[in-house]
Chains A and B, each alone.
Chain A
Amino acid sequence: MKAFTKHKGVAAPMDRANVDTDLIIPKQFLKSIKRSGFGPNLFDELRYLDEGQPGQDHSKRPVNPDFPLNHPRYQGASVLLARKNFGCGSSREHAPWALDDHGFRAIIAPSFADIFFNNCFKNGLLPIVLEEEIVEQLFQEMYADEGYELEIDLEAQVVIKPNGETHGFEVDEFRKHCLLNGLDDIGLTLEDADDIRAYEAKRREQAPWLFDAVK
């Protein structure tokens, strides 16, 4: 996994509540057996005026001029500003893959859906929860100021605004550690293999029906 330490980038809006993972990446693109290449289909139904299909040349499709991510001022944006309950719905990790592939490194919202939130950390994408009023303020400042950039310092757990003002955010110690160092958590868990085996032996004794039933 790629590490996340500090990042500074242009902020872009996804200005609606309850953005679901179907909206982030529609189902027809989940047929891919790869982890990459989802970027052109991020928010597909909002970005384009036609129905997208896997394998298409997306550069030839009609784009929706009203969708902010299509506006010149948000090209190259890497920090997504979002509203409440971002990422609700399915567990598809294709959602963070699409955001990452499009170039986003962090998402700031007042709240996230649990599974999506967790999936982000597995992909070097940092979801940041800030109070609703602060997020609202960031939205207003971004709309008012073309090229509005936010800086994120994960070590210090702060979002830094262009005027130098900072907003602290919470992040789990373990997730922070993995992100800062770009660590594969499977490798970390396997360091506890002896504990897992010991637990398993005990469980096999207590509940033998849980083992070897399906073969």
Chain B
Amino acid sequence: MGHPENKKQTLYDKLWEDHLVKSRDDGTALIYIDRHLIHEVTSPQAFEGLRLAGRKPWRTDSVVATPDHNVPSDAAERAGGIAGIQDEVSRIQVQTLDENCKDFGIVEFGINDPGQGIVHVIGPETGATLPGMTVVCGDSHTSTHGALGALAHGIGTSEVEHVMATQCLIQKKMKNMLVRVDGELGPGVTAKDVVLAIIGKIGTAGGTGYAIEFGGSAIRSMSMEGRMTICNMAIEAGARAGMVAVDDITLEYVKGKPYAPKGEQWDKAVENWSRLHSDDGAHFDEIVELKAEEIEPQVSWGTSPEMVVPVSAVVPSPADESDATKKAGIERALEYMGLTAGQKITDINLDRVFIGSCTNSRIEDLRAAAAVAKGHKKADSVKQVLVVPGSQSVKAQAEKEGLDKVFIEAGFEWREPSCSMCLAMNADKLGAGEHCASTSNRNFEGRQGYGGRTHLVSPSMAAAAAIAGHFVDVREMQKRTAVSGGEK
């Protein structure tokens, strides 16, 4: 930082510098953590570690907990609270979180608390996560919170314990990457399609070692929900942290949230947050550019999020790949997915549809899915369409708007807030060989159930697939509806 021209900083540089407690001679740094989110899966061993060492949390008011991975989405099972969870190991894990939070004095939004939800949905919606914060959680999708202009990333359980005990992480600074999406997205093209297109372009390891800032006019004009969807999947591009600069859309979103600053503190915070953007001319180690107009609705065909194509395309052929490892990967993915090279994406039939997860379970996602579903019925060949709101608050809002009725009339199931079929830790899962149009984030082998076949799509594409029974270009469907003067 010796030369004045080098003072130009990226958003990540600023967030890093703001939280630097100490630089050590060995090249590592102690970084202060403002917000620590906790769920039931990756925390029990950390609490156990604290107990064994006789340590206490450094700052309990920095921690917010909620159970989300193991909680049932079925209303009847859910009504019984923790004791009602039928899967014993799931029940013990949720119970353990509850006990640990009580023992250590940590605020927990319990299983049926009005504040409960997927941890990455409730953070922003309560104001527990704010611009300028460092946010960590034992969950790789913590990158979601970067949408607020925060430095947010997933950590392992040892680091969960480390943050609880010390309020800090030992880190090395990452490199800076800018992903710029300029232009205007076409109708029917959403944040999910943008992030899938980005991952398709740079690959699942493209962002390894980087913090990614998403910028450009298409990102700037996106809602906070859309930005969260984008940052959520930064990890699918290999980057632990994704982020978006603070602007008026951010401030408008944050204002009035229960844990957001109020009155004079709000003014002071806004002043402080106004610098949370990359300076003009700041140095990025890597810049990736996409044109918004060129992005079509995306569908993943394989077993890695980078195996994604536009809905108008066909399943790729291993013969077209020269790299031997990649070729083998495509062959294995085709076999696992039960697909043939050259097959049209729109010819893939679906057995189940999942609308939910920390990627796409916010109110805007549900509105988009409902807009497509309204006045239609799910195809008979589709066994089940799950709609799982991301939080109790999202659920209440959706019900206020009557979205639940739209889904139910379409033959979709309206469920309770949870991670649900994104990773199938509760009872919601795919059977072996079943194809699923899913708004979640990972299409790994077995992710949604043993032998299950996941296709990642946006909420409107998922709803359209549920109605057609196979993938369709949601834009065609929207056009037809407009022409026939049907439901809006």
Contacts and interface: CB of A to CB of B under 8 A. Distances in A.
Pair from one complex = yes
Contacts of B310: none
B423 interface: yes
Nearest to A92: B42
B238 interface: yes
A214 B259 contact: yes
Interface string B436-455: 00000010111100110000
Given A90-B139, A93-B156, A215-B61, A186 B162 contact: yes
Contacts of B41: 30-31, 92
A27 B423 contact: yes
Contact of B165 (A16, A54, A190): A190
Given A33-B92, A209-B265, A91 B156 contact: yes
B162 A189 contact: yes
Interface string A178-215: 00000011100110110110011001001111111111
Interface stretch (A59-67, A112-120, A152-160): A112-120
A106 B446 CA distance: 26
Interface residues of B, number: 88
A164 interface: no
B70 interface: yes
A174 B25 CA distance: 9
A172 interface: yes
Given A27-B423, A45-B446, A122-B158, A85 B45 contact: no
A196 B127 CA distance: 25
B269 A114 contact: no
Nearest to A36: B45
A186 B157 CA distance: 13
Interface string B186-226: 00000000000000000011001100000000000000000
A81 to B, nearest CB: 13
A206 B107 CA distance: 24
Given A33-B45, A200-B32, A207-B272, A85 B205 contact: yes
A84 B205 contact: yes
Given A119-B156, A196-B21, A206 B272 contact: yes
B89 A23 contact: no
Contact of A91 (B21, B107, B133, B140): B140
A54 B89 contact: yes
Contacts of B62: 214
Contacts of B158: 93, 119, 122-123
B425 interface: yes
A8 interface: no
Interface in B259-279: 259-261, 265-266, 268-269, 272
Interface of B: 21-22, 24, 26-28, 30, 32, 34, 41-42, 44-45, 48, 53, 55, 58-59, 61-64, 69-70, 87, 89-90, 92-93, 96, 107, 127-128, 130, 132-133, 138-140, 142, 153-159, 161-162, 165-168, 170, 172, 204-205, 208-209, 235, 238-240, 259-261, 265-266, 268-269, 272, 304, 325-326, 328-329, 332, 423-425, 432, 442, 444-447, 450-451
27 contacts: A16-B328, A17-B325, A20-B444, A27-B423, A30-B69, A31-B92, A45-B445, A84-B325, A91-B140, A91-B156, A111-B208, A114-B239, A118-B156, A174-B24, A174-B170, A186-B165, A192-B168, A196-B30, A196-B167, A199-B22, A203-B32, A208-B265, A209-B130, A209-B261, A209-B269, A213-B261, A214-B128
Q: Which 6 A-B pairs have the closest CB atoms?
A: A209-B261, A122-B158, A119-B156, A33-B44, A93-B156, A91-B154
Given A32-B89, A214-B107, 5 more contacts: A23-B446, A26-B450, A89-B140, A114-B239, A214-B62
Interface of A: 16-18, 20, 22-23, 26-28, 30-35, 45, 51, 54-55, 83-85, 88-93, 96, 111, 113-115, 118-119, 122-123, 172-174, 177, 184-186, 189-190, 192-193, 195-196, 199-200, 203, 206-215
